[in-house]
Amino acid sequence: MNRMTRKLTAALLALCLCASLMLPAAAADSSADPDFLKAEALKVMGLLKGSDQGYELDRAPTRIEAVIMLIRLLGEENEALYSTEEYTHPFVDAPGWEGASDYLAYAYSTGLTTGVDATHFDPEATASAQMFATFVLRALGYEDGDQGSVWDKWQSLLESGVAVPDDVDLNSFLRGDMVSLCYAALDAQVQGTELTLAEKLVEDGHVSDLALRIGRVITGQEVTADSELSDIMAYLYASVRDDLSVSYMSETAMTPENVEGFLGTDEVEFVEGLAVEPMMLAQAHSVCLVRLPEGADVEAAKQTIRENVNPRKWICVGVDESNVYVESIDNLVLLAMDNNCGAGIAAAFRALDGSLLTPDANGMIKLGDTYIESPSAMDRDSITRFAEKMIALRDQNFSDNNVYLSIIPDKSYYARDEIANYLNHESMTAALREWLYDWNMVELSGAMELSDYYLTDPHWDQQDILDVVDLLGEAMGFAIDHDAFSAESYDGFVGSYGRLVQDIEPETITWLHSSYTDAATVDNMQTPDGTMVYNTDLLGSDTAYNVFLSGLSPLTVIESPEAERDKHLVLFSDSYGSSLAPLLLEQYSRITVVDLRFMPSNMLSQYVDFEGADVLMLFGAAVVNNSSILK
């Protein structure tokens, strides 16, 4: 890389790096707010939708919002919005957004509300606690009578008919109070019936029993592997509620007569079973829970299901084999098939297994002496974006080069038999192969194990990845001499988990040098003073892993004058690549390391010469699962 050119634009790329590293200040954890959880529950039930600003629990509700909530509590939203009957209203101030006039027309025509005068509703005015409580009471069947109107008696009726939570402020009434009051009303008895409002909504088909149970789980109902299958199913769907709507899902009790349609076989003996699949929706999705008899051969039953289930049974749509999950806890078996949220459902199921380790409040798991950060559920959309990014890069920059792709398994993958949540490497690479079917993908998982990663960090330990280099060499046409390396170490290394684990024990970091690394020079755009392959000045810092090539940079060029071949490698990678590249200097006279988290793709042609170069795309699974960070 020409140093003058680098100096002219280093500031620009440094800004890219800094912008990528700057994180917003941590927001308050809304998931711990009871009103937020109730809002989430009501959303699953179809009783609350929120806006692009979220649930806005800290502002006062408007009059039209109160009317809409009443209509939903009555189970009449579809009637209001889609009925063939002509409902009308006289209000000239109805909002212009879609559906607003329909809500008002239904509410006015059915006598649910009147305006502030004959022609005005004043939709954006604040809804008082009295107004909203009156609406809730009307949803519960309370009517005006000889003893007075619901409007006048709202406080006494509310006190006697609804278990209003103590935190509901009827004097300074906010949307959070509205949500809490609505949720409490679900357990109140509907006048003239023996049903609660929740039971009536389910009986009338306005809310599904599954959605109701999911809401109960969201708001704190405890579920274990010994719970009713219906409650376990609700727990599973609660875990993926942001990725999947249950509006069109139908539950079916499994019987000897219908079990083959769900499991692909009738040869698995079971005590009880429950399945959820789409109804009136063209989506490849199936979740089954089966409880086997005591003493049953669970592994044999799981194998029978794996061998017989048909993930393309829907014919026109299907689930990839890599997104079929068969898990078990004691004699309880899960079959989950979904291309987008199957992994999340499987992870939630595994979390019910008391024998598996679960993360602490910081998302960390301690397994023996090593620490593992619990990963996010596999994101199919992110994997697709990653594949599309790789294809675009190749087509635009190096379509005639030898190109290789390897995905480094997440550390959690090698602890999958002992932790509840892991990033499934097979599923991820299978999903990539759907897109990159003509690429030369070098599979690394068989050459690694958990001990190849640092104890306090997610990265691999350089001294333990020579087998990985051998695998890459077999595919790329080179071989390195293991005996050419000698090790040096530093004993005070604490990796990135030090920010998440208090009083974490330091470990040893080791780097391998050779005559090739000693003779090489490094041009790190982000750290121009770091000209050595191993920058030992950084060992005492809180980023000691930056000993490799001086750390993060949009672009790093290594010149290896002692290399055995006059060959150029362009290595697209994340921080894993900085410890791999030094091991390749025996075989490549120049290695250009590109980090697409910080280097904009449209600037590659200005900095990288691909002529005759081998190209290796080497990324950790976490980047593939969060590919929006690639520029």
Instruction: Indicate whether 22 pLDDT > 60.
Output: no
Residue 336 has φ and ψ, to the nearest 5°, of -125, 130
- How far does CA 270 lie from the centroid of its chain? 32
Task: Pick the more confident residue, 8 or 620.
Answer: 620
pLDDT tier for residue 454 given thresholds of 50, 70 and 90: very high
Place of tokens 């990014």: 389
For the entire predicted model, the pTM comes to 0.74
Instruction: Indicate whether 212 pLDDT > 60.
Output: yes
| Structure confidence by residue, pLDDT tens digits, 416-426 | 989 988 999 98
Please state, in angstroms and as integers, the Cα–Cα distance from residue 178 to each residue in 34, 51, 114, 127, 130, following that order: 13, 15, 20, 10, 11
Per-residue model confidence (pLDDT) at position 527: 78
Beta bridge partners of 592: 557, 570
Per-residue model confidence (pLDDT) at position 8: 36
pLDDT tier for residue 10 given thresholds of 50, 70 and 90: very low
CB-CB contact of 374 with 365 (8 Å): yes
Instruction: Indicate whether 203 pLDDT > 80.
Output: yes
Instruction: Indicate whether 3 pLDDT > 50.
Output: no
| Buried-exposed string 407-423: b where 16+ CB fall within 10 A, e elsewhere | bbbbbbbbbbeebbbbb
CB-CB contact of 619 with 595 (8 Å): no
CA angle, 73 then 75 then 76, to 5°: 115
Across the range 224-244, mean pLDDT stands at 93
Residue 388: CA count within 13 A, CB half-sphere: 9
CB-CB contact of 385 with 624 (8 Å): no
Query: Which strand (E) or helix (H) includes residue 138?
Result: helix 129-139
| Structure confidence by residue, pLDDT tens digits, 573-629 | 999 999 999 999 999 999 999 999 999 999 999 999 999 999 999 999 999 999 999
Instruction: Indicate whether 396 pLDDT > 60.
Output: yes
User: To 10 degrees, what angle do helices 425-435 and 380-397 make?
Assistant: 40
Per-residue model confidence (pLDDT) at position 526: 83
Per-residue model confidence (pLDDT) at position 31: 54
The count of residues in the chain is 631
Per-residue model confidence (pLDDT) at position 21: 35
Per-residue model confidence (pLDDT) at position 14: 42
Across the range 89-109, mean pLDDT stands at 93
Tell me if residue 85 falls in helix, strand or coil. coil
Quick one: which of 543, 562, 554, 575 has its CA closest to 460? 575
Q: Are strands 285-291 and 332-338 parallel, antiparallel or unpaired?
A: antiparallel
Across the range 220-231, mean pLDDT stands at 96
Per-residue model confidence (pLDDT) at position 332: 97
Long-range Cβ contacts of 127-130 (<8 Å, 24+ apart): 127/60, 127/61, 127/62, 127/63, 127/65, 127/66, 127/173, 127/178, 128/173, 129/170, 129/171, 129/173, 129/177, 130/154
**Which amino acid is residue 521, in one-letter code?**
T
Please state, in angstroms and as integers, the Cα–Cα distance from residue 155 to each residue in 132, 183, 434, following that order: 11, 18, 61
Rg value, the chain, Cα: 30
User: To 10 degrees, what angle do helices 129-139 and 63-73 make?
Assistant: 10
Q: Are strands 614-620 and 568-573 parallel, antiparallel or unpaired?
A: parallel
CB-CB contact of 161 with 134 (8 Å): no
User: How many CB atoms sit inside 10 A of residue 160's CB?
Assistant: 8
Q: Which residues contact 242 (CB under 8 A, 6 or more apart)?
A: none
pLDDT tier for residue 13 given thresholds of 50, 70 and 90: very low
Place of tokens 């009738």: 266
Looking at mean pLDDT, say which of 152-161, 354-363, 451-460 comes out highest: 451-460
pLDDT tier for residue 5 given thresholds of 50, 70 and 90: very low
Across the range 364-393, mean pLDDT stands at 93
Q: Which residues contact 576 (CB under 8 A, 6 or more apart)?
A: 408, 459, 460, 618, 619, 620
**For the chain, what is the mean pLDDT?**
90
Per-residue model confidence (pLDDT) at position 564: 96
User: To 10 degrees, what angle do helices 63-73 and 100-109 make?
Assistant: 70
Per-residue model confidence (pLDDT) at position 17: 42
CB-CB contact of 43 with 49 (8 Å): yes
CB-CB contact of 170 with 61 (8 Å): no
Got the DSSP string for 545-592?
A: GGGBTTS--SEEEEE-TT-SS--EEEEEESTHHHHHGGGGTTT-SEEE
Residue 79 has φ and ψ, to the nearest 5°, of -60, -40
Gap between the Cα atoms of 75 and 452, Å rounded: 57
User: How many CB atoms sit inside 10 A of residue 610's CB?
Assistant: 17
Task: For the chain, report the end-to-end CA distance as a whole number of angstroms.
Answer: 21
Residue 512 has φ and ψ, to the nearest 5°, of -105, 120
Instruction: Indicate whether 258 pLDDT > 80.
Output: yes
Instruction: Indicate whether 25 pLDDT > 70.
Output: no
Gap between the Cα atoms of 365 and 423, Å rounded: 14
Token pair, residue 270, equals 């079971």
Q: Which residues contact 24 (CB under 8 A, 6 or more apart)?
A: none
pLDDT tier for residue 529 given thresholds of 50, 70 and 90: confident
Per-residue model confidence (pLDDT) at position 322: 80
Instruction: Indicate whether 268 pLDDT > 90.
Output: yes
DSSP 524: E
| Structure confidence by residue, pLDDT tens digits, 470-522 | 999 999 999 999 999 999 999 999 999 999 999 999 999 999 999 999 999 99
- How far does CA 13 lie from the centroid of its chain? 29
Gap between the Cα atoms of 65 and 82, Å rounded: 19
Task: Pick the more confident residue, 96 or 244.
Answer: 96
